[in-house]
Amino acid sequence: MIMGDSKEIRPLLKPLSSRARELPFSGIRRFFDIAASMQDVISLGVGEPDFTTPWNIREAAIYSIERGQTSYTSNYGLIELRRAISKHVVQLYNTSYDPDTEILVTVGVSEALDLAFRAVLDPGDEVLVPEPCYVSYKPCVTLAGGNAVGVQTSAEDGFQCRAEQFERVITPRTKAILLGYPSNPTGSTMPRNELQRIVDLASERGLYIVSDEIYDRLTYDQEHVCVSSLRGARERTIYLNGFSKAYAMTGWRTGYVCAPEEILRILMKIHSYTMLCAPIASQKAALEALHRGEAPLRDMVAQYNQRRRLIVDGFNRIGLKCRMPEGAFYAFPDIEATGLGAEDFAERLLFDERVAVVPGTAFGTGGEGHVRCSYANSLERIEEALSRIGRLTAKLIS
Amino acid sequence: MKPESSYAKLRLTMQEKKIETEILEILSRDCRTPPETIARMIGRSVEDTTGIIEALENQGVIKRYTATIDWEQLGLEKVIAFIDVKVMPAREVGFDAIAMRIARYPEVKSVWLVSGGSDLRILVEAVNLRSLGNFVAEKIATIDGVTGTVTQFLLRKYKEDNVLYNEPEPDDRLIVSP
């Protein structure tokens, strides 16, 4: 460009992928940009544990680096880690996967989701996705060439989905049902009998089930139900899990997929070309988490549970109706009493009181009227945030 | 007694134990957590919670409430020593009599019976090296039944009562994340 020339000269370049361009940016991003530019913000917008990875797990990774374990691993992941995952899933859910052929270590559940949809979908195939849901679910389906069909759940139903709702929207193009319980953002879980009915429906219609159970260890009043463990589920289920939430290991980016061999080998093929393998230090850390992570996990769950009761009680006192979430570390209060929509409320809260929450609409249409508040935060900050939210709410309600 | 009722009773005690443990864990993290907050954290009434805490205090389960203080940061010099004491146990009372004799000195912060080469390990705090030396020489070593002492001075604290002294762990997570 010539100095002083105001006319922009654009190089000759064809447009980027229309599928990628048309994909909307995450609703969370906008909030992040605003909040990041402000001082003294208390954030309930963080979707990760506030604990640091337990020391024994960090130390295991340091030790492996010291010993020079810096190579690629098998595409599937370290065999000792896959064996440990296999044992772990049997112990927790009495469901068995062969460590040699039915388990794949991935770069977080995020990669696993992408693999699952790429493996399952042909262009135009449909995936049924209960909403509100994790922000990546629908984009992952789209990027794999599929169409995500939202199935709206509501606060009245405890944000649980029912087989009938899926049945109503199944078409000949429907290929899979995506389940993500305990749920981000609602914290809700699914009762065994309702899950079984969904599995039965999938069996009748020949559908796959992609089940993201990353929050499985963070349930409070009842045992988690693993979808693969249900009658008739294993053969059609792609079970996704990982280490991020249970062991406070988000930054390690390590997860895994369990599925029957004929499904898993296709995921593995894609993984071998696109990712090759998960980082070896992270895999070593994950192995330590499975061997000796249970005690720190129990301690973290006990603390989340106390904060959960505190924050839910706090919202209800303020006058924002909030159901007790059964899992994950999110409360999803109803903010309709304030007369504002989710986006406006979150914005007012950020500008007036410097508390960051995520509007429910970022998680799909069913999230209107709610905001997601993470209680993976210290007690002091949760209490301070509640008092600030209370101040704004009182102003809005009066 | 019918088996069901004793089972029900056992379950009730187990539940109570669980609540008590939960309260104690909260207090051990921060003993200034108000009863109102604790009540909301455990899902019980404030009356219940205060009642349980009072009972735990009365039973001596909760000994006292203290603060973990970094005296050095305040500029206050204190000499702290760990002293391993070898003791000749006495008939009838074993180590208890000597242990209690030592424990009653206000300079002595803690006394433990330990396994290994020595018998008692005590933690002593004094204003300076000389007074600490005097205390050991005059008070501890001279007790009947004490056959030897090994004193180790504390040079630097890295962690105490679960608190890391020199490594603040800032919350550097992204402000909003999915």
Domain ranges of chain A: 18-47+296-397, 55-292
Q: In whole angstroms, give the CA distance from residue B140 to residue B138.
A: 6
* Residues B46, B91 share a domain: no
Q: Report yes or no: A31 at the B interface, CB cutoff 8 Å.
A: yes
Q: What is the pLDDT of residue A273?
A: 97
Distance from CA of A301 to the nearest CA of B (A): 12
In a domain, B178, yes or no: no
Residue B89 is predicted with a pLDDT of 84
Question: Å from A63 to nearest chain B CA?
Answer: 21
Pairing between strand A126-131 and A174-179? parallel
Yes or no, beta carbons of B177 and A48 under 8 Å apart? yes
Looking at the structure, tell me whether residues B77 and B151 fall in a common domain: yes
Option in A36, A313, A314 nearest B175 (CB): A36
**B32, B176, B177, best to mutate vs chain A, most A CBs in 10 Å:** B176
* B151 shares a domain with B83: yes
User: Residue B1's pLDDT band (boundaries 50, 70, 90)?
Assistant: very low
* Joined tokens for residue B148: 């030897």
Residue A160's nearest CA partner among A132, A200, A128 is: A132
* Residue corresponding to tokens 């953002």: A185
Phi-psi region of A363 (alpha: psi -120 to 50; beta: other; left: phi over 0): alpha
Name which of A170-179, A234-243, A356-365, B154-163 the model is least confident about: B154-163
**Better pLDDT: A28 or B140:** B140
Banded model confidence at residue B7, pLDDT cuts 50, 70, 90: confident
The pLDDT value given to residue B15:
87
B175 in a domain, yes or no?
Answer: no
Whether residues A28 and B41 touch (CB distance < 8 A) is answered with: no
Q: Quickly name the fold that domain A18-47+296-397 has.
A: Aspartate Aminotransferase, domain 1 (3.90.1150)
SS3 A313: helix
Regarding whether B30 and B92 lie in a shared domain, the answer is no
pLDDT > 70? residue A3? no
Q: What is the pLDDT of residue B44?
A: 93
pLDDT of A1 higher than 50: no
Please tell me the distance from the alpha carbon of residue A167 to that of residue A238, in angstroms, as a whole number.
20
**Does the residue B27 lie in any domain?**
yes
Q: Shortest Cα distance from B43 to chain A (angstroms)?
A: 6
pLDDT on residue A264: 98
* Mean pLDDT along residues B79-107: 90
Q: Give the pLDDT confidence of A152-169 residue by residue, as tens digits.
A: 999 999 999 999 999 999
Quick one: closest CA in B to A307, which residue? Answer: B41
- As a whole-number percent, the residues of chain A with pLDDT over 70 amount to 98
Task: Specify whether B18 is located in the same domain as B85.
Answer: no
Name the pLDDT band for B14 (thresholds 50, 70, 90).
confident
Q: What is the pLDDT of residue A9?
A: 80
Q: How far is A128 from chain B (nearest CA, A)?
A: 21
Whether the per-residue pLDDT at A6 is higher than 70: the answer is no
Tell me the Cα Rg of chain B.
22
Q: Residue A53 and residue A67: Cα distance in Å, rounded?
A: 21
Nearest to A310 among B22, B40, B175 (CB): B40
* Mean pLDDT score, B83-103: 90
**Cis peptide upstream of residue A132 (ω within 30 degrees of 0):** yes
pLDDT for res B172: 80
If one counts the domains in chain B, the total is 2
Chain A residues touching residue B178 (CB < 8 angstroms): 26, 28, 47, 134-136, 184
- For residues B76-88, one letter each, b for 16 or more C-beta atoms within 10 angstroms of the residue's C-beta and e for the rest, the string is eeebbbebbbebe
A184 interaction partners in chain B (CB closer than 8 Å): 178
Distance from CA of A45 to the nearest CA of B (A): 5
Residue A221: which pLDDT band, with cuts at 50, 70 and 90? confident
Residue A205, classified by CB atoms within 10 Å of its CB into exposed (0-12), middle (13-18) or buried (19+), is middle
> In this structure, are B118 and B141 located in the same domain?
yes
- If asked whether residues B76 and B124 sit together in one domain, one would say yes
Which pLDDT score, from 0 to 100, does residue A300 have? 95
Is B138 inside any structural domain? yes
Domain span at B126: 71-156
Q: Which of A33, A306, A361, A382 to mutate to test the interface with B (most CBs of B within 10 A)?
A: A306
Query: What would the mean pLDDT of A91-109 be, rounded to a whole number?
Result: 98
Q: State the number of CA atoms in the 13 A half-sphere of B178 facing the CB.
A: 17
Is A356's pLDDT higher than 90?
A: yes
From the CA of B136, how many Å to the nearest CA of chain A? 38
Residue window 2-41, chain B: list those with CB within 8 Å of chain A.
22, 25-26, 30, 33, 37, 40-41
Same domain, B148 and B81: yes
Average pLDDT over residues A180-202: 97
Measured between CB atoms, does B162 come within 8 Å of chain A?
Answer: no
- Work out the average pLDDT over A337-354: 95
Looking at CATH, the fold of the domain delimited by A55-292 is given as Aspartate Aminotransferase; domain 2 (3.40.640)
Interface of B with A in 40-69 (CB under 8 A): 40-43
Residues A287-297 have a mean pLDDT of: 95
Q: Which range (A26-40, B24-38, B98-112, B158-172) has the least confidence? A: B158-172
Does position A211 have pLDDT exceeding 80, yes or no?
Answer: yes
Task: Identify the CATH number of the domain in which residue B52 sits.
Answer: 1.10.10
- Of A35, A36, A135, nearest to B178 by CB-CB distance is A135
Q: Are residues B152 and B123 in the same domain?
A: yes
Q: What is the pLDDT of residue A4?
A: 52
ipTM of the complex in this document: 0.71
Q: CA-to-CA distance for B165 and A271, rounded, in angstroms?
A: 44
Q: What is the mean pLDDT of residues A55-64?
A: 96
Classify residue B167: in a domain, yes or no.
no
Calculate mean pLDDT across residues B110-116. 95
**B36 and B91 part of one domain:** no
| Residue of chain A whose alpha carbon sits nearest to that of B39 | A310
> Mean pLDDT across chain A, nearest whole number?
95
Q: Which of B26, B37, B176 sits opposite A43 (nearest CB)?
A: B176
